[in-house]
Structure 1
Amino acid sequence: MARSIALLVAAALFASSCGQDPGSAVTLDFFQFKPEAVKTFDRIIEEFEREHPGVRVVQRHVPNAETALRTRLVRQDVPDVLTLNGAGVFGELAAAGVFHDFSRDRVAQVVNPPVQKILNDLGTFGRGEVNGLPFASNANVVIYNKDLFARHRVEPPRSWAELIAAARTFRAAGVTPFYLTLKDAWTALPTFNALAANLAPADFFARRRAGLATFLSAYPQVTEKLKELYSHGQPDRLSRGYDEGNRAFAEGRAAMYLQGSWAIPAIKGLEPAFELGTFALPAVQDQRLVSGVDVAVTMAREPRHPKEAMAFVEYLMRPEVMKAYAEEQVAIPPLRQAGSPVLREVLPYFERGRLAGFPDHHIPLAVQLERLLQRFLIDGDSRAFLAELDSEWDKVMERRS
């Protein structure tokens, strides 16, 4: 892994040193990873180019964006400006020195500090560096059917006891409490993350990397509560996937949906006949909302066109641009206020800085957490799941050393 990251850094720095004819108009290569946001960014680019007639921005979107980016870096073809999901791959590349340090740039000052911390915690090249800027955040929420809640006189739960009581109330009334989609293993991750971020020690991953803690010792409460929630789903949960879950929830076939804000555009596109609401899964009294940087903006550490690339980044990070994007994509701008109306119930977490990053972003992909979680939620063997999670973690760390 270290060798491959070093190759990526060398490729990035080599490519960033290649220039163009200074007399020609500047064309920026914009690597953009979200397929559903292509048209939105086309509009943003058009507006930017009107203000900067000497700069042309070409949006590049390809399937399997992270793999495509690694390939480009190895081929010495680093993009001028990039968007990436604020997850493990971003952290690896940031820590390897691929990206610009924004810590001294004015543009970094517009971001809500707790949101910036979530991104920085994934990895930076040097102490105090800021290697990417949050452009849009998501929220790991429980989506609920406001009409069903009102009809059965259930308030959005504020504690674990209230959440389980709500599930039992709906079950007794013949309403499925949670629509679950275990056919797609990854759909168990939002609930796992919400519980792990609040029930496991805050320094767990630092201690786990140092060999001072284990999942088996720190995560039993996480798995037991996860198993309890999944006992309140529909009988066919093992044969239903994400798309089917979105449709079923939009059709009013469950009171709650254990997903995240990213599912809301798809659900709304199916034109539900009820109003959607959201709340943070209430695992503990001092609840934190799990949130990730859905879109991070960055640029090469030594860009080919530093002035023009920074101008485009500064344009993207204008509050009005971020707010417009968030409205279209049902996201949360990384500011101290504002967000989609359907997310208004969780916005106080952002305003108060009561946020936590996604725990699974700290677990290497090679551990195959999704597969292990899926099997656990089928067989219910908590101890076996956590022991295997520890074993797979250790194997990955040994290969990296």
Structure 2
Amino acid sequence: MKKRLVPPTAATRRHVLAAVAALAVMAPLTSACGGSEAGAEDGRTLRLWHYEDPDGALGKAWTAAIAEFKRSHPGVKVVFEQKTFDQIQQNAGMILNSDKAPDVLEYNKGNATTGLLGKQGLLTDLTPVVRSRGWDKKIAQSASVTARYDTKGEMGGDKWYGVPNYGEFVLAYYNDDLFAKHGIAKPTDFKSFEAALAKFKEAGVTPLANAGNDYPASHWLYLLALAKANRAWVDDYQLYKGKVDFHGPEWTWAVAKYKEWLAKGYFEKKDVGLKGNDMGEQFVSQKRPIMVSGNWWFGGLTHDIKNFKWSVAPYPGATMTLGSGGNQWVVPTRAKNKKLAEDFIGITMSDKIQKLIGESGNIPLAVKADRIGNARSRQLIDAFDAYQHSNGLAFYPDWPVPGYYDAFVAATQNLVNGAGADSVLDQLAAPYDKYISTRH
């Protein structure tokens, strides 16, 4: 079987917020140009960078957007440079603070990336453009949190430093054939979800795909905590709006439920050393009938699964899920043709390009599912829309603290290996509380 399960940059993107935040704390960028004047606009050249695979949904969409831009801007030259995610991530501060800055580029969301560069004056405040062109009306508020920052560079503020075009979230993938083979109904709520897990186990099938040495295990822990959480709890944890009690009912219940599922065999303890791709292989090889993970798997599964029927649906255990708006277009302060950059972003927000994103297997932010012909893609988009319009996107568990991803992996591995609940919760609390105490 060809290993196409995860897009090349997907795993890196999901947790780069925490990793890059750690680098930002240790080695801040050189002082920003602040109010430095960009070169005079000549309206003749658009310089554009992005890092998407040309064969992926977003790569196809951006290629089509460039073609549309050329058609609507005769006489304007487009200089496109294909970059890797790491090239942009590692060199953005230095390049954007120079005359080599492009006019528009795809950039990662988050406090340590877009927020940091916006605070340092390296990115254009797009708020007036976003409002005048109505992009704020096309993107639900919960999906725009990671595009908006405050004066500290923390997400959720009132200044738009980026414009996202797509969404990402965690949902359920079901092997429909295995559900039918064992006479099990697909779940509609948490009670029926647990009932399905029990029935699979009774039939000798471990129900849940998982991987303890990567993001999946920590995603599960956070997802279980969200079952007992409300929006205020998420905002306290992710946006620092209030004190977080790691021994409170949300995290305590999550650890207890995780331990219960381990004891009942819904998770396999031997999965403790697996990586995310191993989890995907469990689902594709039909060893596990249920995988709860991100929509970044959707395109690869569509390509790789030929021998059984499968479907997607919102995870039935919580009204909120892990997710956010996707990475975004930003305009450097030193861009030479900002108006052309804004026109290009506008094209990526158009119905034509947004529809292409959906038909190709990703989640457009500005077009409805009923405009998409692909039935399974409509399932995906409908599920995301339900979350974004109910303020149900709760970001990712490792986002709040620099280096927190590694702490989560270690804590969940200890949990699987039998550590006590209090020990696991203390392990998660320590880096979070330390960061909060030194944040101001």
With structure 2 as the length reference, what TM-score do the two structures score? 0.77
What is the Cα deviation at residue 196 of structure 1? 3.4
What is the Cα deviation at residue 202 of structure 1? 2.3
What whole-Å deviation, never above 9, does each CA across 1:215-234 have from its counterpart, x for those lacking one?
Answer: 22252122223344454124
- My pick for the range that moved more, 251-260 or 121-130, is 121-130
Give the counterpart of 1:27 among 36, 39, 46: 46
Checking the alignment, whether the CA contact within 8 Å between 1:251 and 1:272 is kept in structure 2 is: no
SS class of match (2:169): coil
The AA in structure 2 aligned to 1:199 is K
Residue 381 of structure 2 is aligned to residue 350 of structure 1: no
- Distance change >3 Å, CA 385–CA 75, structure 1 → 2: farther
Q: Distance in 1 between matches of 2:193 and 2:335?
A: 50
Q: Distance in 1 between matches of 2:135 and 2:201?
A: 48
Residue 82 of structure 2 is aligned to residue 60 of structure 1: yes
Gaps of 5+ in 1: none
Give the counterpart of 2:426 among 381, 387, 390: 387
The AA in structure 2 aligned to 1:80 is D
Residue 258 of structure 2 is aligned to residue 237 of structure 1: no
SS class of match (2:363): coil
Checking the alignment, whether the CA contact within 8 Å between 1:115 and 1:134 is kept in structure 2 is: no
The AA in structure 1 aligned to 2:146 is L
What is the Cα deviation at residue 324 of structure 1? 0.5
Aligned to 1:219: 251
- Distance change >3 Å, CA 213–CA 283, structure 1 → 2: same
What is the Cα deviation at residue 345 of structure 1? 4.1
Aligned to 2:295: 261
- Distance change >3 Å, CA 323–CA 94, structure 1 → 2: farther
Give the counterpart of 1:366 among 389, 403, 428: 403
What is the Cα deviation at residue 181 of structure 1? 1.9
Q: Distance in 1 between matches of 2:142 and 2:303?
A: 28
The AA in structure 2 aligned to 1:370 is V
What is the Cα deviation at residue 95 of structure 1? 5.0
Checking the alignment, whether the CA contact within 8 Å between 2:144 and 2:325 is kept in structure 1 is: no
The AA in structure 1 aligned to 2:63 is D
Percent sequence identity is 18
Residue 219 of structure 2 is aligned to residue 190 of structure 1: yes
Aligned to 2:330: 298
What is the Cα deviation at residue 169 of structure 1? 0.7
Gaps of 5+ in 2: 1-23
Q: Distance in 1 between matches of 2:47 and 2:34?
A: 15
The AA in structure 2 aligned to 1:298 is V
Aligned to 2:104: 81
Q: Distance in 1 between matches of 2:375 and 2:108?
A: 23
Q: Distance in 1 between matches of 2:117 and 2:184?
A: 46
SS class of match (1:137): strand
- Distance change >3 Å, CA 104–CA 342, structure 1 → 2: same
With structure 1 as the length reference, what TM-score do the two structures score? 0.84
- Distance change >3 Å, CA 63–CA 333, structure 1 → 2: closer
- My pick for the range that moved more, 35-44 or 381-390, is 35-44
**Cα-Cα RMSD:** 3.2
The AA in structure 1 aligned to 2:192 is E
Aligned to 1:165: 195
The AA in structure 1 aligned to 2:95 is R
Q: Distance in 2 between matches of 1:195 and 1:399?
A: 29
What is the Cα deviation at residue 399 of structure 1? 4.7
Aligned to 2:161: 131
The AA in structure 1 aligned to 2:362 is A
Q: Distance in 2 between matches of 1:219 and 1:118?
A: 24
